[in-house]
């Protein structure tokens, strides 16, 4: 079945720097890749997603890139701010089921 | 659009009792809802897929008699933890697929229910 690996598990950056989180997936049939941000004790919030028919998507300071051949996708956050501090999860869909398989999560700390 | 509520937000119960958690899609119809379990500082673990009007599909290792799921309408799914024990203590989160915004695969999450079994 689908397996999603996420790295790094923790990431600390200075305010204003960029942060990159990477994920790999195993099922080449997966075609939908969302990223969620979860603050402590709160619900996961969708921040950006990408489908397999595009290689990159951007929304203000956040961008996601997808390499279908290598089966990996990455989240890029530019000009980080302290409020970006949270746990970020990548996920990959299992075709025809609607299920999402989540990565292990990355704890991002943005130091002011 | 795409708001999901969950109730209760927190529950403490005695060992051996049953606890029901409700998940509602407030502004859209969700034919599919999902139930996850999350341990502290861990990822989301899918427990089951809940389809309106049909039996839930459970992931491997999840006891269907322990975690009863009912999806009676397009806006409501319930998870009942039967004969709860301390090891069932966890953060349970539901999600609903659909909504007017985003891809049809997009899942919107409820706020979660923290269960503590004494």
More confident residue, B23 or B2: B23
B100 contacts on A by Cβ (under 8 Å): none
Q: What is the spatial distance between Cα A40 and Cα B64, in angstroms, rounded to a whole number?
A: 29
The candidate with the shortest Cα–Cα distance to A30, out of B77, B105, B24, is: B105
Span B12-28, average pLDDT: 95
Chain-centroid distance of CA B98 in Å reads: 16
Helix, strand, coil abundance in chain B, percent, nearest 5: 5, 50, 45
Chain-centroid distance of CA B25 in Å reads: 12
CB contact (8 A) between residue A44 and residue B43: no
pLDDT of residue B108: 92
Tell me which of A96-100, B23-27, B61-65 is least confident. A96-100
Would you say residue B10 has pLDDT above 80?
Answer: yes
CB contact (8 A) between residue A49 and residue B102: yes
B106 contacts on A by Cβ (under 8 Å): 34, 46, 49
CB contact (8 A) between residue A44 and residue B93: yes
Identify the segments of chain A with pLDDT beneath 70. none
Query: How do B19-25 and B4-7 pair as beta strands?
Result: antiparallel
> Does residue A109 contact residue A21 with C-beta atoms inside 8 Å?
no
Which residues does B contribute to its contact with A (CB < 8 Å)?
A: 4, 32, 34, 41-44, 46, 49, 93, 97, 102-103, 105-112
Q: What is the spatial distance between Cα A37 and Cα A89, in angstroms, rounded to a whole number?
A: 6
Distance from CA of A112 to the nearest CA of B (A): 23
Tell me which of A93-97, B47-51, B63-67 is least confident. A93-97
Distance from CA of A111 to the nearest CA of B (A): 20
pLDDT of residue B103: 61
H-run or E-run covering B68: strand B67-73
Whether the CA torsion B118, A104, B75, A29 is positive or negative: it is negative
pLDDT of residue B100: 58
Rg (CA), chain A: 13
**Which site among B26, B43, B71, B113 would you substitute to test the A interface, given the most A Cβ atoms closer than 10 Å to its Cβ?**
B43
Tokens of A42: 């709160």
B32 contacts on A by Cβ (under 8 Å): 98
pLDDT in tens, A32-47: 999 999 999 899 999 9
Q: What is the spatial distance between Cα B46 and Cα B38, in angstroms, rounded to a whole number?
A: 9
pLDDT of residue A89: 98
Name the residue in chain A with its Cα closest to that of B102: A49
């Amino acid at each position: 079945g689908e397996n999603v690996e996420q790295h790094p598990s923790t990431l600390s950056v200075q305010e204003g720097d960029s942060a990159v989180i990477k994920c790999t997936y195993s099922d080449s049939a997966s075609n939908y890749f969302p990223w969620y941000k979860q603050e402590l004790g709160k619900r996961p919030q969708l921040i950006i997603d990408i489908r397999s028919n595009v290689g990159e998507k951007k929304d203000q300071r956040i961008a996601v890139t997808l390499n279908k051949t290598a089966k990996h996708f990455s989240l890029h956050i530019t000009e980080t701010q302290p409020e970006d501090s949270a746990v970020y999860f990548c996920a990959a869909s299992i075709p025809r089921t609607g299920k999402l398989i989540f990565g292990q999560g990355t704890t991002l700390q943005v130091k002011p | 659009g795409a708001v999901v509520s969950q109730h209760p937000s927190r529950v403490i119960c005695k060992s051996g009792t049953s606890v029901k958690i409700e998940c509602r899609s407030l502004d859209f119809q969700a034919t599919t809802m999902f139930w996850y379990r999350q341990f502290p500082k861990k990822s989301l673990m899918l427990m089951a897929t809940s389809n309106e009007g049909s039996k839930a599909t459970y992931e491997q290792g999840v006891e269907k008699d322990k975690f009863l799921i009912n999806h009676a309408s397009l806006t409501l799914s319930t998870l009942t933890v039967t004969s709860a024990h301390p090891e069932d203590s966890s953060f349970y989160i539901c999600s609903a697929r659909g909504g007017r915004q985003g891809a049809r695969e997009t899942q919107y999450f409820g706020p979660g229910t923290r269960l503590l079994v004494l």
